Amino acid sequence: LVLDHNMFTGRVPPWLGGFPHLAVFSARNNSLSGPLPESLGDLVDLRVLSLSSNSLTGSLPDLAALTNLQVVDVGNNYLGPQFPALGNKVSTVRLDIAHNQFVGPLPPSLLSLPSICYLDVAGNRFTGMLFSNTSCNNGLDFVDLSSNLLTQNVSYAMNCLLNTS
């Protein structure tokens, strides 16, 4: 289901979760608003969730059970404040949560998702540092941590992100 680049308004309907075999839900660049329904977590076959550039608010639903999810693109919304656990079995290749309202420590697991190659968390209010036990996936091709409140010796952070062997 692709609804990109229109003028759709309103909320993502909760009944969408009643279609568990839906593989793609993309409604980028619309005027969708309000919170996302928890029923998105019932879309067990979902591979692409792309809702960037809307006016979505509230928490991102729990996506840990969506083991086929490859793309999560919810950048440029008002989602937050906490980022939910994705689980360690997620096949996510691309994760874009940039320019939202996520706060708190950057979850170290985001850097080590088994299949992740693109990670954009820019423009939030993530705090803290990359811990010494943070391991970065060696398939990471792109990481944007800019415009957050991260603190650490830049040399260590770069080593963690660049030394992925």
* Structural domains present in the chain: 9-162 (3.80.10.10)
pLDDT of residue 81: 96
- Give the C-alpha separation, 83 to 103, whole Å: 8
Strands 78-79 and 48-50: unpaired
Residue 37 in this model has a pLDDT that exceeds 90: yes
> Exposed, middle or buried: residue 141 (CB in 10 Å: 0-12, 13-18, 19+)?
exposed
Whole-structure pTM value: 0.90
For residues 31-50, give the mean pLDDT: 96
- Nearest Cα neighbor of 148 from 113, 121, 109 is 121
Reported as a single tens digit per residue, the pLDDT across 65-106 is 899 999 999 999 999 999 887 776 668 899 999 999 999 998
Residue 165 in this model has a pLDDT that exceeds 60: no
pLDDT of residue 156: 64
Q: What is the DSSP string of 31-96?
A: EEEEEPPGGGGG-TT--EEE--SSEEEEPPPP-TT-TT--EEE--SSEE-SPPPP--SS---SEEE
- Give the C-alpha separation, 113 to 120, whole Å: 13
pLDDT of residue 133: 57
pLDDT of residue 163: 62
Residue 120 in this model has a pLDDT that exceeds 80: yes
Residue 121 confidence class, pLDDT cut points 50, 70, 90: very high
Residue 49 in this model has a pLDDT that exceeds 70: yes
